[in-house]
Chains A and B, each alone.
Chain A
Amino acid sequence: MLISNMEIVPGKTVVKHLGLVQGSTVRAKHIGRDLMASLKNIVGGELKGYTELLEDARREAVERMTAQAESIGANAVLNVRFSTSSVAQGAAELFAYGTAVVLE
């Protein structure tokens, strides 16, 4: 499965367009991490725990999107976009969407 955020793939042609596919996940951070983060918040700097958490969540969103694309018989997802929104206090939704296509 090829994933790209360009509309084309160099050297290949799109033979079939299968429409929008999407994947999303909602994550909350756990209290231990939050506590460490609030301590870290005094001195500033990177919050590694949060970076990892969001990266994991994003990977899962992409996996769900890929699974949906596979189920409809695509072999690539093009023009992929990411968006993040906080649905509740302390929880965030990570959303990935793109166009499923068949490449040749």
Chain B
Amino acid sequence: MTGQILNLILFLVLLLVGFIAGRLAESSHYRSIRAREKALAKILVFSERLPPPMHPAPASRLVSGSAVISVDYFKRFVAGLRMIFGGRLGSYETLLDRARREAVLRMKEEAMRKGAIQVCNVKFATCPISSGTKDGVKCVEVLAYGTALIPRR
């Protein structure tokens, strides 16, 4: 009996910690994403297969960025409830959105360090990572990669 109560208390504490810490972490992450997106806005990103014609021909280099982001305890619980009724899983949507934008930002940062002005042929690869047990680590890795075009002077 006491064991069950302890379990329940642990569950509620985890839920509360997940809710508060997760919410704070997410909003600060979104703030940093928005600020960096503004700062890197001058690097253009295309999913076009071929680069626009430029003269003189630019140098090209592969650039990539990746991020592994996990969802907090509270959101995972809410998503678990959601699975009963089906429909939109808002908590996982923000997870993937954050991971993807972060990956693109890292790719742009690498492109910027190499002196590029645009990145062409951008591809995304998403891979869920989960270890062994049912309650194991659940997170998603997003990789963004493309070819950076570096103008020659």
A residues near B (Cβ < 8 Å) are 2-12, 29, 34, 37-38, 40-47, 50-51, 54-55, 58, 80-86, 89-90, 92
Contacts and interface: CB of A to CB of B under 8 A. Distances in A.
A2 B61 CA distance: 7
A47 B60 contact: no
Contacts, number: 131
Contacts of B95: 44
B62 A5 contact: yes
Grouping DSSP codes into helix (H, G, I), strand (E, B) and loop, the A interface class, with mixed when no group exceeds half, is mixed
A43 B139 CA distance: 12
Interface residues on B, range: 35 or more
A10 B125 contact: no
Contact of A5 (B22, B29, B54, B123): B123
21 contacts: A2-B60, A6-B50, A10-B54, A11-B56, A11-B57, A11-B58, A34-B131, A34-B137, A37-B137, A41-B139, A43-B18, A43-B73, A44-B69, A45-B22, A45-B29, A45-B69, A47-B69, A50-B129, A82-B64, A82-B123, A85-B127
